[in-house]
Structure 1
Amino acid sequence: MHDKYDSNRPERRSALIVLELSRLDIDIAALSEVRFSGEDSLQEHGAGYTLFWSGKPATEGNHSGVGFMIKTSIASTLESLPTGHSDRIMSLCLPLKNKEYATILSVYAPTLQAKSEEKDRFYSELRHVLRRTPPADKMIILGDFNARVGQDADSWRDVLGRHGVGNCNDNGRLLLEICMKLQLAITNTIFQQKGKLKTTWIHPRSRHCHLIDYILVRQRDLRDVLHTRVMPSAECHTDHRLVRCRIRIRPKPITRKGGPPRKSTTIAGYNQTR
């Protein structure tokens, strides 16, 4: 634990983020562009969250990085700490009821302008991590994919829903292809809702709204997804909007002060850098 990060100064980005996560009652949030070096954690004591992150070594700068912000009550049930696979992929294994598990990934894909070698390296690593995940686990992948997947639900049956946004680009095809091979569904495109509840990023020059931040699940588990939508009211001081998903998974029981146990878990993903 880094003491130098472990404080409640309200101007710190992580302190501002947990205020919004607490207000929206988010259980687990995946973060992109964390920009902390190495792999470590910190506690936000006042709001009851713990941040875990995976970034580049301190000698290489800190322009990327991924992480999780988890309610400390849930983090205390983890059987192992979240694993940093690189500065672009981090995973955690969440114990569920009845000795089941959910594997949750926080990812940050290269931009459209990145070299093809960098994109190939990211998707190769992502495939490697996914294929090593036990087949029985529920799988949830959250993050900034820097990709537009479009609306062609007929060509990408079971991957895309009928409520996508805009046109597909090259990064979008890379994402759609891995989803098709690994039988993943893009939950953002499943639910009919207003455009402002689907788009996650505004292009700084054209001012067009795009959907580039996604929450993916195994196709077989799509029935457990209750809703996925953007939260326009969430102010996390980033040019990306927070994406919230309510999913029917029951974490390993924890002691609760009154009230029935949760029947679903609320997760979210966003890029935290402005």
Structure 2
Amino acid sequence: MPFKMIKNTTRSNFNHDEDQKAGKVNRELGRYGVDIAALIETRLPGTGQLIESGGGYTFFWSGRSNEERREAGVGFAIKNHLVGKLDNIPEGVNDRLMTLKLQLQLSKKTFATIISAYAPTMTNPSATKDKFYEDLEAIVSSVPQTDKLLLLGDFNARVGKDHQAWSGIIGHHGIGNCNGNCLLLLKTCATYGLTLTNTMFRLPTRNKTSWRYPRSKHWHMIDYLIVTVKDKQDVLATKALCGADCWTDHRLIFSKIRLQIKPKRRPQAQKVAKRMNVNKLKLPEVQEELQTTLTRQLSELESNN
């Protein structure tokens, strides 16, 4: 059976009471059986990692320095048993992009690149938005075509439901209308052959939308799991979870994907200890032979001394 990895997009602020909040996120991710989660708007300074005491996850983040105003921040929460399989820890590009690279079982040179992304909001200047997509496209364009690519995050873009105009990018189950950020995201998807998996599945509206506008109270789809078109058959489900509580005004986006992760290679000098078959000791002839051998060796030792 292929390894099933679950990807999530969630917003989690660790800027106050980090341990308490990390513990709550830890419990929620464990409750839903999440293996890897993308964390958005962490607002933590610099880059670092945190292992929640008694929990099952290691948190990695990328943000601005202490001297700068921290409005964004991205990261990953990875199950501890998967952290041991990583050749390299997640790499922070800036406070809006972080990458994680996993070697797959397919071959020695095949990887999955996972990107945790937090796009600028509608109120950000155009220069900020353009810079984000320039950085994002630089990462996407560097991923070999043989590798798998997964983008997880809050793109602050409502893409609507016009699947005919954006064939292969928007599925048949989109929702709502576009906003001013949608073209930036859709053009990037069109350029690099990406598809929005949130629009692939027929679901109730509550399991499609992820964020409620504070004034109108309307729910919108702005958090996505995006993959290459060639890999969309590996996505088994993508939906919003209404019951997850992670100190956030966004719903958790839950996706199940077929991936086979290659175990971390042991150092060549390290040998695996052989297991002894003790069941044979129950046989009388084996017991007799062992006793004879031990008696002879003890006699030889006494003679040498």
TM-score (norm 1): 0.87
Equivalent AA in structure 2 for residue 218 of structure 1? T
Q: Choose 1 or 2 for highest CA Rg.
A: 2
For residue 253 of structure 1, report the CA deviation from its aligned partner.
3.7
For residue 209 of structure 1, report the CA deviation from its aligned partner.
0.5
* Structure 1 residue aligned with 2:215: 205
Structure 1 gaps, min length 5: 255-274
Q: Which runs of 4+ in 1 moved over 6 A?
A: none
- The answer (yes or no) to whether the contact 1:10–1:16 under 8 Å persists in 2 is no
CA offsets per residue over residues 194-226 of structure 1, 9 Å max, x none? Answer: 000000000000000100000000000000000
Residue 64 of structure 1, aligned match among 64, 72, 79: 72
* Structure 1 residue aligned with 2:167: 157
* Structure 2 residue aligned with 1:167: 177
Change (3 A) 1:56 1:193: same
| SS of match in other structure, 1:12 | helix
* Alpha-carbon distance in structure 1 between the residues aligned to 2:71 and 2:177: 28
- The answer (yes or no) to whether the contact 1:37–1:61 under 8 Å persists in 2 is no
* Structure 2 residue aligned with 1:260: none
* Alpha-carbon distance in structure 2 between the residues aligned to 1:253 and 1:218: 24
* Structure 1 residue aligned with 2:192: 182
CA offsets per residue over residues 199-258 of structure 1, 9 Å max, x none? Answer: 00000000001000000000000000000001111111100000000001111247xxxx
| SS of match in other structure, 1:59 | coil
For residue 15 of structure 1, report the CA deviation from its aligned partner.
1.2
Q: How does 1:242-253 map to 2 (within 5 A)?
A: 242-253=252-263
For residue 62 of structure 1, report the CA deviation from its aligned partner.
2.0
| SS of match in other structure, 1:36 | coil
More helix by share: 2
| SS of match in other structure, 1:73 | helix
CA offsets per residue over residues 44-82 of structure 1, 9 Å max, x none? Answer: 242210000000011103221000000011011111111
Equivalent AA in structure 2 for residue 82 of structure 1? P
Change (3 A) 1:42 1:11: closer
Identity of aligned residues (%): 45
Q: How does 1:87-126 map to 2 (within 5 A)?
A: 87-98=95-106, 99=108, 100-126=110-136
User: Over the residues paired in the alignment, what is the CA RMSD in angstroms?
Assistant: 1.4
Residue 52 of structure 1, aligned match among 54, 60, 67: 60
For residue 11 of structure 1, report the CA deviation from its aligned partner.
6.6
Equivalent AA in structure 2 for residue 114 of structure 1? N
* Alpha-carbon distance in structure 1 between the residues aligned to 2:57 and 2:165: 41
* Alpha-carbon distance in structure 2 between the residues aligned to 1:122 and 1:152: 25
CA offsets per residue over residues 126-175 of structure 1, 9 Å max, x none? Answer: 00011112221100000000110000000001000010110011201110
* Structure 1 residue aligned with 2:137: 127
1:235 aligns to 2:248 (yes or no): no
Change (3 A) 1:56 1:10: closer
For residue 10 of structure 1, report the CA deviation from its aligned partner.
9.2
Equivalent AA in structure 1 for residue 126 of structure 2? S
Change (3 A) 1:180 1:10: closer
* Alpha-carbon distance in structure 2 between the residues aligned to 1:165 and 1:11: 37
- The answer (yes or no) to whether the contact 2:45–2:66 under 8 Å persists in 1 is yes
* Structure 1 residue aligned with 2:287: none
1:36 aligns to 2:44 (yes or no): yes
For residue 94 of structure 1, report the CA deviation from its aligned partner.
1.0
| SS of match in other structure, 2:123 | coil
* Alpha-carbon distance in structure 2 between the residues aligned to 1:217 and 1:117: 26
Q: State the number of aligned residues.
A: 247
Equivalent AA in structure 1 for residue 190 of structure 2? M
Structure 2 gaps, min length 5: 1-13, 265-305
| SS of match in other structure, 2:187 | helix
